Structure 1
Amino acid sequence: MPKTTICTAIPYVNSVPHIGNILTDLSGDVTARYLRMRGEDVFLQVGTDENGLKIQEAAQAAGRDPHEFVAEIADRFRSVFDAVKISYDEFVRTSEPRHIRASQELFRRLREAGHVYLGKYEGWYDVSTETYFREEDLVDGKSPDGNPVRWVSEDNYFFRLSAFGDAILRHIEANPGFIRPENRKNEVVSFIKQGLRDVSITRRNPGWGIAVPDEPDKVIYVWFDAVINYVTATGWPDAGWEDRWPARVQWVGKDILTRFHATLWPAMLMGVGLPLFDTVAAHGWVLLGGEKISKSKGNVVRPIELATEFAAKAGISQDLAVDVLRHYLTATFPLESDSTFTYEDFDQRYNTDLANDLGNALNRSLAMAQKFVGGEVPDAAPEPEAIEAIETAKQAYAVAMDACEIGRAVEAAWGLVRFLNKYIDTRAPWALSKSNDPALGSVMKSMLLCLRACEGLVRPTIPSAADAIASQLNLEPTRTWDSIGRDESLPAGTILQTPRPIFPRLELTKKEDAKRVEPKNVESKPSTPPVAQPKAAPEIGIEDFVKVQLRIGRVFEAEPLEGSDKLMKLQVVIGDERRQIVAGIRKNYGAEDLIGRQVVVCTNLKPAKLRGVESQGMLLAATDSEGGAILLQPDREAPEGTNVK
Structure 2
Amino acid sequence: MPAGESFYITTPIYYPSDVPHIGHGYTSVAVDTLARWHRQSGDDTWMLTGTDEHGQKMLRAAAANGVTPQEWVDKLVSESWFPLLTTLDVANDDFIRTTQERHETNVQVFFQKLYDAGYIYAGEYEALYCVGCEEFKPESEIVDGTGPFEGLKVCAIHSKPLELLQEKNYFFKLSEFQDRLLELYKTEPDFVRPDSARNEVVSFVSQGLKDLSISRSTFDWGIPLPWDTSHVIYVWVDALLNYVTAVGYGSDETAFERRWPAYHVVGKDILRFHAVIWPAMLMAAGLEVPKGVFAHGWLLVGGEKMSKSKLTGIAPSEITDVFGSDAYRFYFLSAIAFGQDGSFSWEDLSARYQAELANGFGNLASRTIAMIERYFDGVVPSAGEYTAQDLAIQQLVAKAAAGADSAVERFRIDEAIADVWTIVDALNGYITENEPWALAKDEEQRERLGTVLYTCAEGLRALAVLLSPVMPQSTAKLWGALGAEGGLGALTAQPLRDAGRWGQLPAGTVVQALAPLFPRIEATA
TM-score normalized by the length of structure 1: 0.74
**1:220 correspondence with 2:224:** no
**Structure 2 counterpart SS, 1:423:** helix
Measure the CA separation in 1 of the matches of 2:54 and 2:397: 48
Judge conservation of contact 2:382–2:450 (CA < 8 Å) in 1: yes
- Measured in 1, the distance between the counterparts of 2:319 and 2:393 equals 37
- Give the superposition deviation at 1:137: 4.4
Flag structure 2 segments of 5+ consecutive residues without an equivalent: 145-152
Among candidates 452, 457, 468, match of residue 459 of structure 1? 468
The corresponding residue for 2:396 is: 389
Match of 2:88 in 1: 84
What's the secondary structure of 2:53's corresponding residue? coil
SS class of match (1:240)? helix
1:180 Cα offset (Å): 1.3
Between the aligned partners of 2:391 and 2:501, the Cα distance in structure 1 is: 13
Alignment of 1:53 onto 2:60? no
Aligned 1:549-628 pairs, distance under 5 A:
none
* Deviation sequence 1:503-549 (CA, Å, 0-9, x none): 122335xxx8xxx7xxxxxxxxxxxxxxxxxxxxxxxxxxxxxxxxx
Tell me the matched-pair count: 499
Distance 1:353 1:135 in 2: 46
SS of structure 2 residue aligned to 1:4: strand
Aligned to 1:70: 73
Distance 1:296 1:211 in 2: 31
One-letter amino acid of the counterpart of residue 296, structure 1: S
Which amino acid in 2 is paired with 1:61? Answer: A
Counterpart position of 1:472: 481
Cross-structure match for 1:422:
429
Residue 373 of structure 1 deviates from its aligned partner by 3.2
Q: CA contact under 8 A between 1:102 and 1:232: conserved in structure 2?
A: yes
Distance 1:433 1:282 in 2: 53
CA-CA distance at 1:77 after TM superposition: 0.5
The answer to which of 222-231 and 386-395 deviates more is: 386-395
Post-superposition offset of 1:248: 4.1
* 1:404 and 2:411 matched: yes
RMSD, matched Cα: 1.9
Residue 519 (structure 2) aligns with: 504
1:196 matched to 2:209: yes
Q: Is the 8 A contact 1:157 1:202 kept in 2?
A: yes
Distance 2:497 2:342 in 1: 33
| Structure 2 residue aligned with 1:125 | 129
> 106, 110, 116: which one pairs with 1:106?
110
Q: Does the aligned pair in 2 maintain the 1:378–1:492 contact within 8 Å?
A: yes
For the residue of structure 1 that corresponds to 2:48, the secondary structure is: strand
3-state SS of paired residue (2:364): helix
Aligned amino acid, residue 219 of structure 1: V
Alpha-carbon distance in structure 1 between the residues aligned to 2:415 and 2:299: 17
In 1: Cα distance, 2:137 partner to 2:87 partner: 38
1:249 and 2:263 equivalent?
A: yes
Higher Rg? 1
Within-5 A mapping of 1:24-43: 24-43=27-46
The 3 A distance-change label for structure 1 pair 68 and 334 is farther
Deviation at 1:298, TM superposition (A): 3.2
Give yes or no for contact 2:405–2:497 (8 Å, CA) kept in 1: no
Quick check: 2:167–2:216 contact (8 Å CA) kept in 1? yes
Change (3 A) 1:218 1:357: same
Give the aligned partner of residue 193 of structure 2.
Answer: 180
- Larger relative contact order (C-alpha < 8 A, sep ≥ 6)? 2
* Distance (whole Å) between structure 1 residues aligned to residue 393 and residue 256 of structure 2: 44
What amino acid does structure 2 have at the position aligned with 1:417?
Answer: V
Once the two structures are overlaid, the 10-residue window that deviates more, 26-35 or 232-241, is 232-241
SS state at 1:409 partner: helix
Range 476-485 or range 43-52, more displaced: 476-485
Q: Is the 8 A contact 2:262 2:290 kept in 1?
A: yes
**How far apart, in 2, do the equivalents of 1:90 and 1:137 lie?**
34
Q: Is the 8 A contact 2:401 2:497 kept in 1?
A: no
Contact 1:2–1:243 (Cα < 8 Å) also in 2: no
- Among 465, 473, 489, the alignment partner of 2:504 is 489
Q: Is the 1:449–1:485 Cα contact (8 Å) retained in structure 2?
A: no
Match of 1:44 among 43, 47, 53: 47
Task: Verify: 1:94 aligned to 2:84, yes or no.
Answer: no
1:412–1:161 distance in 2 versus 1, CA, 3 Å: same
- Cα distance, 1:406–1:134 mapped onto 2, change above 3 Å: closer
**Gapped runs of 5+ residues in structure 1?**
312-320, 517-645
Show CA shifts across 1:469-498 (max 9, x none).
Answer: 111112224322144244553111011123
CA separation in 2, counterparts of 1:137 and 1:24? 24
Question: Any conservation in 2 of the 1:2–1:244 contact (CA below 8 Å)?
Answer: no
Deviation at 1:334, TM superposition (A): 4.7
SS at match of 1:152: strand
Paired AA for residue 107 in structure 1? F
Q: CA offsets per residue over residues 333-361 of structure 1, 9 Å max, x none?
A: 35232111112222112111110111111
